[in-house]
Structure 1
Amino acid sequence: MQTESKIKSIPCFKHEGSFILFINIGKQNTEFVCDECCVDLKALNSDQELIHIKNALRSPEFFISKLNISSSLKEYLIKLDKCNEQAMKSILKDFETKITDIQEILKGVYQELKCHVESILNKKQKIREELQKIIQFDKFTQFAINFIQLGDQINPQAIKQNEQILHEYLQDLTKNNYQELNQKLIDMLDRIKREPRDPKEDQYPQYRNLEEQFKQLNAKQIEFAKQISLINFGQFTIIYDSKLVSNQQSQKIINIIQSKLNKIVTNFSQIYLGTRDGLSGQAFWNKVQGKSNLLMIFKSKSGYIFGQFSPCQWNQNLNAYVQDNTMSSFLFSQTHDQIYPLKDANKQNAIYCHQSQGPSFGGGHDLQIGLDFQNGYSNLGHSYQSDQYQITTKNTHLFGQTTPNIAECEIYQVILT
């Protein structure tokens, strides 16, 4: 860029032979500085922000990220700056290379499986040949040929004779209550089993290589999905209407939902606000009935903020627990900055739907709020994992008291793509 080249040639009047490279933004003044100026500033323990002019001219995202904006905006813009043409082309090139590798490996897998099929068929043929010897299969075949040769002739004596010969054959084959036959078969199969074979036969090296390549491809796909999410503001979604959840907490909630469901959060639609719609079971069920992917946020009168997300559908007429096969349900406490994921062994107890109760989560229940939004209790740790934290009073941990005493409740339907 012509502007960049001109700036590179501007000398620093403080240090001979050095040229302007940075902008130094201070509280009292802003100045152009060179690399030697930066050394002086460092010696003065200056905490002033330096902006590399070349990078700032290249990217407005980089420039704005260096200003004193909010930490969440700064983090987003830094990530956006790194999502440049070169980085995206590199990701695309990696995809192309990986797909080509997989195509070649697939050919090897086919040849590998083909060899294994041939080996299986060869073993089967060996077993068949041994079986023919053990049961003298040629005799049985001859009986069948003799019987067919009788044709349409009604010859009871010939049929009787064939039956007698066949019976004697079977009697000899199954004598001693099949013990000899069983032993011969076991010995034969054991002998074939102990025959030397190709050590690669059970290893499937090409197939294992393919599995590893697919894992790598999936990792690249996840990284690519993050870039897409970034451009679609998936990594900068904020629950804008929430008066309870902080930006930091909302980002944590979004990240957990996206990682567990492998989908992108695109929006939050507020469907219930306690102080507006009424803190009652009737108002609650009127808003959540038939809906899924709900994020519920509560504030107790003690000032504690906590909540839960679940993809499960709410149905007041169900009067039963609802299972979450996605294992994406979780409880959280913003007050304690803690997340409590659903236990795999208790996935059938993700939420509890009953018309005589308000929001209820987990068997036990881990969190139960009554129809009046004042009564209820918490048995945290029953279906939702809390052992990772040193919680001494689980019944008051979420509320700050023994009963919920809800002062506010926000419920959002999470929109995913």
Structure 2
Amino acid sequence: MPFIPCLKHKGSYILYIKLDQDKAEFICEECCLQLYEINQNLNIQRLIHIKSVQFQNLIYKAFKSPQLLLPNMNYSTQPKQKLNEFDKLNENCIKNILKDINTQITNIQNSFQLVQQELEYYAKQFLNMKQKFKDELEKLIKFDQFKQIIENLENLGDSINTQIMEQNEKILYQYLQDLKKMDHTELYLQLFDKMKYLRIEFKDLKQQYYPECQKLQDQLKSFSISQLGLIEQINLITFKQFNFLETQLLQEQYQYKILCTILSKINKININYQKIYLSYRDGLNGQAFWNKVNNQSNLLMIFKSKSGNIFGAFSPCQWVTNSSGGYIFDNNNKSSFIFSQTQDQIQIFPIKEGNKQHAIYCYQSYGPTFGGGHDIQINSDFQGGYSNLGHSYSCEQYQISNKSTHLFGQSTPNIVECEIFMLTFA
């Protein structure tokens, strides 16, 4: 939309529509300031913003979101609120989904190159193993003697004669006779021993079972989930409901990232949930926590600290109250992760390959605890505890200056709100 000059203030341009009971008026920022000086109680929210220029932290873009006109037409605020949510959800979520998909495509392209290098490496090692076996066989049957006979004849070329041919035939005959006289049982045993040794050597070489290939498979699964997520968002145009969590803590655009992360790790396409613990309803203490989570699996926990930080974790592991304390092993494709919701992104901290046995820690004298070390340790009063982020859950992908305070915003949890969802998958 081109700029429209204001007729009252030279050099200024129309930014707002001011709607009164008997008239509508185009005004610029200077007009707006004059109105505000005259009437300090002027309701700025009643002005309809037709340009994306900020005034007192209020930005209204009527051209992008026409539902903003509805309040001025005396419609109910509920449809306007729903339309605003619908508009925001599409814009924010689809942009984040496309951003994630673009990142995934780049990562997949890089992974294909790494897979190619990995397969070429293992193929080379296999051919080296094969050559070693061939070298061992040649050594056992003294193959160099046979090659020498052939080379001697080749070197003579056209000068070869009958006498020389007969001499070499005798040498060849003697070589073959010696080969027949060998202890073939011993020969085969030596070959089998060499083969056994080489097979063990090659098995040790690929003990990680082609990690780049496995990583690529995981990325392709995640890409498939993101594609389904994009389709789900497009379906919102028909007002199909996306199954977001009924949470007061997580922003919807970040819920998408968390839910898609869970789906990609569990390898499912849909999530249902049940709210099993709400601190305002059930109490913020260890006894209330264990009363709700004991023997439950697939729990998504969301916390808010006194500093206002939002963080949490998901694990498929079963929470089982334990009087002496014990770790629970994540044997479901390393599905456990910790997350943190910042102002501009959601950070995901996946469990490390070598720490799957330390996914969660169950101790009836503690509250929620994740990782060996612990990455998150919340006392039964939900106030004390500590964070040793990066011990069992990876955080190297983010530049975190203080790992002990990153999640809480302070050195101790000081939890003020907690929501726990039990997830089921289809």
Scaled by the length of structure 1, what TM-score is found?
0.49
Scaled by the length of structure 2, what TM-score is found?
0.48
